[in-house]
Amino acid sequence: MRTMASKKHGVVLGLLGVVIALVFFVAGAVSSQLMSAHLTNVFNPRQTTALGDKTSQVFDLMQKEANDPPSEATALNGALNGLLTSNGDQYARYLDAKSLASYTDQMAGQFGGIGVVLGEKDGTVFVNQVYPDTPAAKAGILAGDYFYKIGSETSNTWTTQKVQDGVKGKVGTTVTLTMQRPYKKGEMPQNIRYDFGNPYTVTVTRAIISTPNTESKMLAGKVGYVRLFQFNEKSTDDLRKEYEQLIKEGATSLILDLRDNPGGDLNQAVGVGSLFISKGQPIVQIESRVEGTTVLRTDGNTLSKNLPLIVLANANSASASEIVSGALQDHHRATVVGATTFGKACVQTELKFGDGAVFLTTADYLTANGRNINAKGITPDVKLDMDISLELDQAKDIQLQKALELAQSQAK
Report, as residue numbers or ranges, the catalytic residues: 319, 330, 344
Cα angle vertex 228, ends 226, 229, to 5°? Answer: 140
**What span, in angstroms and rounded, lies between the C-alpha atoms of 358 and 100?**
9
Which helix (DSSP H) or strand (DSSP E) does residue 179 occupy? strand 174-180
**What span, in angstroms and rounded, lies between the C-alpha atoms of 239 and 69?**
50
Q: Which residue stretches of 291-367 are H helix?
A: 320-330
| Other CB atoms within 10 A of residue 275 CB | 20
| Other CB atoms within 10 A of residue 412 CB | 8
Which candidate, 369, 267, 289, places its Cα nearest to that of 328? 369
CA dist 157 → 19, 29, 184 (Å): 19, 22, 22
- 374 neighbors 342 (Cβ within 8 angstroms): no
**What span, in angstroms and rounded, lies between the C-alpha atoms of 299 and 125?**
37
**What span, in angstroms and rounded, lies between the C-alpha atoms of 61 and 69?**
9
CA dist 233 → 31, 50, 189, 239, 349 (Å): 9, 41, 45, 12, 16
Q: Is 64 exposed, middle or buried (0-12, 13-18, 19+ CB in 10 A)?
A: exposed
